[in-house]
């Protein structure tokens, strides 16, 4: 087991993180699959899953040891989807009412786009594109939750308390997302100041969201609920759009901020009321 190895958790994590980040850079800067027919950056996620399996084998970890427990799978997936549905339902309602009050005649439309910092890209209604979106987001949550909330928390807790492990994992998760504005800057699509603001926004918002996923992992003892919530968050942004007289998804950042703030507060209350802070993180 992992406890029997001479382990420097931060060193191990940084090696794994850098390997995964290199695959991410290659895809975003070179392959650019998110700007292609597929509309999803999935290659580096598949590579990340391969790295995750390698790390599990190296540290003699079973899937249940990092949160892929066989207990209460369907129940936790259902709760995760319901959490996402509730907070985004509220966020869409607020956005819709605000746009309606301004006379912008908002409507909700269902089609596939790729998420981008400055607004969603593309508009596809074919079943194949819906399938790409669903499959791509499943691959995404398996890799990110497995690595950041599963493996990293497991390694960090060999030396640090849970909340410190949450902080370290979430900071790395925040920096994981800066590649998009960096690419936009290099492509001349945004100014240096715009890139800096986007980077800071992404580090803070995705860092907080990552911390929420860590708390959900602690509450349930597995990755299934954070995976389901993560999947719903990403998928609804790709599929459900607010169209007005003046544009599409103009207040997307506001919508996401409302949903994630509400979600974080709900999960934080659940964390303290459930007594999860007294329990082992991964309960096999």
118-166 confidence digits (pLDDT tens): 555 668 888 988 999 999 999 999 999 999 999 999 999 999 999 999 9
Residue 52 neighbours by CB under 8 Å, 6+ apart: 143, 146, 147, 150, 151
Give the per-residue pLDDT at 115: 62
Closest CA to 198 of 171, 212, 180: 180
* Strand intervals (E) in the chain: 107-110, 112-114, 121-124, 240-244, 247-248
pLDDT at 125: 83
Stretch (H or E) spanning 225: helix 224-239
Q: Are 184 and 118 in contact (CB under 8 A)?
A: yes
**CA 57, CA 283: separation in Å to the nearest integer?**
20
Residue 194: pLDDT over 80: yes
In the chain, domain spans: 2-278
Q: What is the pLDDT of residues 203-234, one digit of tens each?
A: 999 999 999 999 999 999 999 999 999 999 99
**Residue 277 Cα to chain centre, angstroms:** 23
pLDDT given at position 119: 57
- pLDDT given at position 26: 98
β pairing state of 107-110 and 240-244: antiparallel
Contacts of 164 (CB under 8 A, 6+ apart): 156
Mean pLDDT of the chain: 94
Pairwise CA distance, residues 45 & 22, whole Å: 11
The per-residue pLDDT for range 52-95, each reduced to its tens digit, is 999 999 999 999 999 999 999 999 999 999 999 999 999 999 99
C-alpha to C-alpha distance for 49 and 73, rounded to whole angstroms: 20
Please give the model's pTM, rounded to 2 decimal places.
0.94
User: What pLDDT sits at residue 283?
Assistant: 87
Q: Residue 168 has what pLDDT?
A: 98
Say if residue 117's pLDDT is above 70.
no
Average pLDDT over residues 278-284: 90
Let me know how many helices (H) and strands (E) the chain has, helices first: 10, 5
What is the rounded average pLDDT of the residues 26-32? 96
Give 38's pLDDT tier (boundaries 50, 70, 90): confident
Q: Are 145 and 152 in contact (CB under 8 A)?
A: no
* Tally of CB atoms within 10 A around 67: 26
Q: Residue holding tokens 């999947």?
A: 231
**For 67, which DSSP code?**
T
**Helix 127-144 with 43-58: angle, nearest 10 deg:** 30
Q: With beta carbons less than 8 A apart as the criterion, state whether 230 and 143 touch.
A: no
Look at residue 172 and tell me whether its pLDDT is greater than 70. yes
From CA 7, how far away is CA 14, in angstroms rounded?
13
DSSP 33: G
């Amino acid at each position: 087991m992992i406890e029997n190895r001479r382990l420097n958790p931060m060193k191990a994590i940084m090696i794994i993180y850098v390997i995964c980040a290199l695959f991410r850079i290659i895809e975003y800067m070179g392959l650019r699959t998110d700007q292609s027919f597929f509309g999803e950056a999935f290659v580096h996620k598949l590579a990340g899953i391969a790295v995750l399996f390698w790390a599990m084998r190296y540290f003699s970890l079973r899937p249940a040891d990092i949160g892929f427990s066989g207990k209460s799978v369907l129940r936790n997936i259902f709760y995760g989807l319901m959490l996402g549905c509730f907070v985004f339902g509220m966020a869409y309602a607020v956005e819709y009412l605000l746009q309606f009050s301004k006379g912008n005649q908002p409507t909700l439309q269902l089609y596939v786009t790729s998420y981008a910092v400055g607004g969603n890209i593309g508009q596809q209604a074919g079943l194949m594109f819906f399938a790409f979106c669903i499959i791509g987001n499943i691959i995404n949550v398996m890799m990110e939750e497995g690595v950041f909330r599963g493996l990293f928390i497991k390694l960090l807790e060999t030396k640090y308390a849970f909340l410190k492990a949450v902080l370290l994992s979430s900071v790395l998760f925040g920096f994981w997302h800066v590649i998009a504005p960096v690419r936009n800057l290099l492509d001349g699509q945004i100014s240096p100041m715009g890139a800096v603001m986007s980077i800071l926004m992404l580090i803070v918002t995705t860092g907080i969201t990552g911390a929420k996923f860590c708390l959900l992992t602690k509450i349930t003892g597995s990755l299934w609920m954070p995976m389901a919530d993560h999947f719903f968050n990403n998928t609804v942004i790709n599929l459900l759009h607010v169209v007005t007289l003046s544009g599409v998804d103009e207040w997307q950042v506001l919508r996401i901020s409302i949903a994630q703030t509400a979600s974080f507060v709900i999960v934080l209350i659940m964390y303290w009321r459930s007594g999860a802070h007294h329990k082992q993180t991964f309960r096999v």
